A and B are shown apart, each in its own frame.
Chain A
């Protein structure tokens, strides 16, 4: 992508508006709550640098953008490249995307395309050599051609529409192998047992760190607030992998100390909420923040900007390429609870298990307006939760900041009804 001299000189107006959006949110996250963990400073500072000051995303080798968690990042690392997740959460870019996207489209896709279309976008990923676009939902699928029209190299990573059959599994394994071939062309390097094994070791370490964090959130009263947890996982999109893992391990140590000291990050009777649905992506952490500002605490989530991205781990029997690549492919397809597939039994079971393990009082289900798959699934989820006596609040929202009043009314009513329920038990 070329930038003409005039564009490079113009003070990035988009950056100032976009920066303000990020800054306001970070201020709320940091200042509206007492006793933020020390280890979170790293993350607050990281977001300020990248989102408010426009610091370029740190990377080694070629930068490969991904638009979905289905893209196996271990492969990208193995080829000496760095993956960066492009899913965007900024209202500012959502408005830019609205110029050329249909009115009723998903704000996430609009914002992502908007940021790719804008010059000098933030986060600064100007040097994207390839975008790997898994063909998940309709809107992402159609986005491929639009991204190419903007001048990007796009690789369509063909994801099957159902994951139950053996055919789907094999199809996906072949699609992953094809991605490996494309990456080989792009980087000029070969995939070897050694470099893939090293890449898998790095992500395994990150996943293990996340699992520890995840398990620590089971503690009651809560040690840690969901607003920070989402910030941590959102940082994974673009932060250096090893640096991120170190920061999370430090956070885990601090949380363990908190646990031993009996520290409470939220009130004892604060309703424990499981957050599910369309992913909260920085700076659109609107809903989790509202929940916690209203006195609830998000103890667990089932979204692709957090739990779903990092929870599942790959097992390999033999450290030979065929086992490793196929094992990775399986890990990215089989346990995935994204609603783009035909059945959602796996998602139902995962939600019920999370609700039980984390002693959850209620579930908040966010669906972006225009996200057909999440909107269509909410009834089945509400029904199975109701059968277990777990109340659910369904919220349809988008990136615009003007529905805060309406959202807070709903959330407060929901939390109030939970508190009453608990009092009466």
Chain B
């Protein structure tokens, strides 16, 4: 039995995925990056193998991706997370009729990728200079509103009023704005919705730079947030394809690539 693995070493979380000889996804695992990412990456990888009863020798090829990809020596090759995400989304999106645009909102960055029918990258745009429009903004907001990240989705749909407009372009300054809104008696629901729309608008602007074409795939941790999804769909004017495990698409893509690279050699 041959297996192929992909490890996505991000700034906040490590994601690992394993596919079999046929390219079917066997399993995934997510863990925080922590301070020693090499050790945590190894542990996550080994734990994933153990979970599915796979021996290390059966894994024929490993591809690392993400910011930490160059330093993970266990990997046989490394690839940029853009390419990995593209392949992952293209594969996973086949059942939905073919993905052409990918929107990824990560912990500290966000990307828009335009791909062709084979999952090849035609164009991409990244925002990795600014936390606004990334998962970090949601963390900050949740903390200020004293609610859990997982609850953000519910709050989004819970309000009666229209979503408030968050004016700050900076995630850090938005903190003061949120506190001010709370102090003025605005409801948390409207504030949460406003934050989601702020991120959604920013993301759509990024996506327009690469050209938006159906179907649009949305991944990264924040894709679990149903409120954010609703806001994004509203701003885009079209429905999104959301995978069950949006955090692991990139690792899955890396695993698929590991398989095709091994088999073609």
- Asked if residues A417 and B122 are in contact (CB atoms below 8 Å), the reply is yes
Indicate the member of B81, B123, B126 with the most A CB atoms within 10 Å.
B123
- Asked if residues B121 and A416 are in contact (CB atoms below 8 Å), the reply is yes
> Which of B118, B123, B124 is in CB contact (< 8 Å) with A424?
B118
- Asked if residues A417 and B121 are in contact (CB atoms below 8 Å), the reply is yes
The stretch that binds B, out of A97-105, A254-262, A305-313, A405-413, is A405-413
Q: A421-B120, A424-B118, A424-B120 are in contact. Are A413 and B128 (CB under 8 A)?
A: no
Of chain A, the residue at the smallest CB distance from B125 is: A394
Q: A406-B126, A406-B128 are in contact. Are A412 and B120 (CB under 8 A)?
A: no
> Which of B67, B121, B124 is in CB contact (< 8 Å) with A405?
B67
- Asked if residues A409 and B81 are in contact (CB atoms below 8 Å), the reply is yes
- Asked if residues A420 and B120 are in contact (CB atoms below 8 Å), the reply is yes
Q: Mark B48-65, 1 if CB is under 8 A from A, else 0.
A: 000000000000000000
Interface size on A, residues (CB 8 A): 13
Residue B181, interface by CB 8 Å = no
Q: Using a CB-CB cutoff of 8 Å, which residues 78-121 of chain B contact chain A?
A: 79-83, 118, 120-121
Indicate the member of A405, A413, A416 with the most B CB atoms within 10 Å.
A413
Residue B129, interface by CB 8 Å = yes
Q: Which residues from A are CB-within-8-Å of B120?
A: 417, 420-421, 424
Q: Which residues from B are CB-within-8-Å of A391?
A: 122-123
- Asked if residues B121 and A413 are in contact (CB atoms below 8 Å), the reply is yes
Q: How far is the CB of A382 from chain B (nearest CB, A)?
A: 9
> Which of A405, A406, A417, A424 is in CB contact (< 8 Å) with B83?
A417
Cα A84 to Cα B80 in complex, Å, equals 41
- Asked if residues B129 and A409 are in contact (CB atoms below 8 Å), the reply is no
- Asked if residues B118 and A409 are in contact (CB atoms below 8 Å), the reply is no
- Asked if residues B129 and A413 are in contact (CB atoms below 8 Å), the reply is no
Q: Which residues from A are CB-within-8-Å of B79?
A: 412, 416
> Which of A406, A410, A417 is in CB contact (< 8 Å) with B129?
A406
Interface size on B, residues (CB 8 A): 15
Q: Which residues from A are CB-within-8-Å of B121?
A: 413, 416-417, 420
Cα A202 to Cα B91 in complex, Å, equals 61
- Asked if residues B67 and A413 are in contact (CB atoms below 8 Å), the reply is no
> Which of A403, A413, A421, A424 is in CB contact (< 8 Å) with B80?
A413
Q: Which residues from B are CB-within-8-Å of A413?
A: 80-83, 121, 124
- Asked if residues A409 and B122 are in contact (CB atoms below 8 Å), the reply is no
- Asked if residues B129 and A416 are in contact (CB atoms below 8 Å), the reply is no
Cα A424 to Cα B67 in complex, Å, equals 28
- Asked if residues A416 and B80 are in contact (CB atoms below 8 Å), the reply is yes
Q: Which residues from A are CB-within-8-Å of B118?
A: 424
Q: Which residues from A are CB-within-8-Å of B83?
A: 412-413, 416-417, 420
Q: Using a CB-CB cutoff of 8 Å, which residues 125-168 of chain B contact chain A?
A: 126, 128-129
Q: Mark A381-425, 1 if CB is under 8 A from B, else 0.
A: 000000000010000000000010110011011001100110010
Cα A413 to Cα B67 in complex, Å, equals 13
Of chain B, the residue at the smallest CB distance from A405 is: B67
Cα A410 to Cα B122 in complex, Å, equals 13
Q: How far is the CB of B130 from chain A (nearest CB, A)?
A: 12
Q: Which residues from B are CB-within-8-Å of A420?
A: 83, 120-121
Q: Which residues from A are CB-within-8-Å of B128?
A: 406, 409
Q: How far is the CB of B216 from chain A (nearest CB, A)?
A: 19
Q: How far is the CB of A386 from chain B (nearest CB, A)?
A: 9
Cα A416 to Cα B81 in complex, Å, equals 11
Cα A410 to Cα B126 in complex, Å, equals 8
Of chain B, the residue at the smallest CB distance from A416 is: B83
Which 6 pairs from chain A and chain B are nearest by CB? A413-B82, A413-B80, A417-B121, A412-B80, A416-B83, A406-B128
Query: Which B residues are closer than 8 A to A by beta carbons?
Result: 67, 79-83, 118, 120-124, 126, 128-129
Given contacts A412-B79, A412-B83, 20 further A-B pairs with CB under 8 A are A391-B122, A391-B123, A403-B129, A406-B128, A409-B67, A409-B80, A409-B81, A409-B82, A410-B80, A413-B80, A413-B81, A413-B83, A416-B79, A416-B83, A417-B121, A417-B122, A420-B121, A421-B120, A424-B118, A424-B120
A-B contact list, 15 entries, CB within 8 Å: A405-B67, A406-B126, A406-B129, A409-B67, A409-B126, A409-B128, A410-B124, A410-B126, A412-B83, A413-B121, A416-B79, A416-B80, A417-B83, A417-B120, A424-B120
